[in-house]
Amino acid sequence: MRSSLIFFECLDDDDVAWIYHACHKVHYVDKDVLIDAGMVAAEIFILLEGKCRVESVAGQFLDLLSSGDIIGEVSFVDKRKTATRVSAQGGCAVAVIDGEQLREKLQTDVAFCSRFYLAAARVLAYRLRGNLQVAITEEVNVMNSAQEFVGEIDPADLDATAKSGARLAYLMSRFS
């Protein structure tokens, strides 16, 4: 869910309303593939219910996504083939943001475009830091905000999380 909180922090309420109207809900059963390795993601998914497994081409487990997570943004942003497979674990429901509608909105609404790509960049930075954490060592926690804020939670982060959480809750409730 952390990825969606980061994503929705950058968008405004009108953006979230537009995303809702550009989405349709799809259900997947256990082991159904949402995104297969080697394809270019045409859409972006918001995981509404359940979990999704992310694995390498060789089948190595990489991550377990949960309700609220954003899926498919990497390939959507860089328009390159995916390097991982994302599949339903035990069944899930997703909101699928129609890629064609999204690309058109990005081309015609400069303000939305800047907020959308800032949101995507922040999600990608978050995931990069997580990957670095695993690659470097478990002893050095690059995700630990305590190292950055010397044991205090930044009030700006709390406010942003509350706003993005409300936007995500609105979107998810509309698909219930």
The token pair at 88 is 């339903």
Going from N- to C-terminal start, the domains of the chain cover 2-172
> How many whole angstroms separate alpha carbon 53 and alpha carbon 142?
23
Burial of 135 (0-12, 13-18, 19+ CB in 10 A): exposed
Q: What is the pLDDT of residue 40?
A: 84
Local confidence pLDDT in tens for the 176 residues of the chain: 578 888 889 999 999 999 999 999 999 999 999 999 988 878 999 999 999 999 988 888 888 999 889 999 888 888 888 888 999 999 999 999 999 999 999 999 999 999 999 999 998 888 887 767 666 655 555 444 444 433 444 555 666 677 777 888 888 888 87
CA–CA distance, 85 with 48 (Å, rounded to integer): 19
- Contact present, 94 and 116 (Cβ < 8 Å): no
Q: How far is 6 from 125, CA to CA, in rounded Å?
A: 10
Count Cα atoms within 13 angstroms, Cβ side, for 65. 27
Instruction: Identify the residue whose tokens are 């809702």.
Output: 20
Q: Give the pLDDT confidence score for residue 65 in this predicted structure.
A: 92
Whole-model pTM?
0.78
Cα angle 131, 11, 38; round to 5 = 45
What are the DSSP E strand ranges found in 57-135?
A: 61-66, 70-71, 84-97
Place domain 2-172 in its CATH homologous superfamily.
Jelly Rolls (2.60.120.10)
Helix (H) / strand (E) containing 102:
helix 99-108
CA dihedral 168, 39, 35, 132 (to 10 degrees): -70
pLDDT at 45: 94
pLDDT score recorded for residue 116: 95
| Residue 143 DSSP label | T
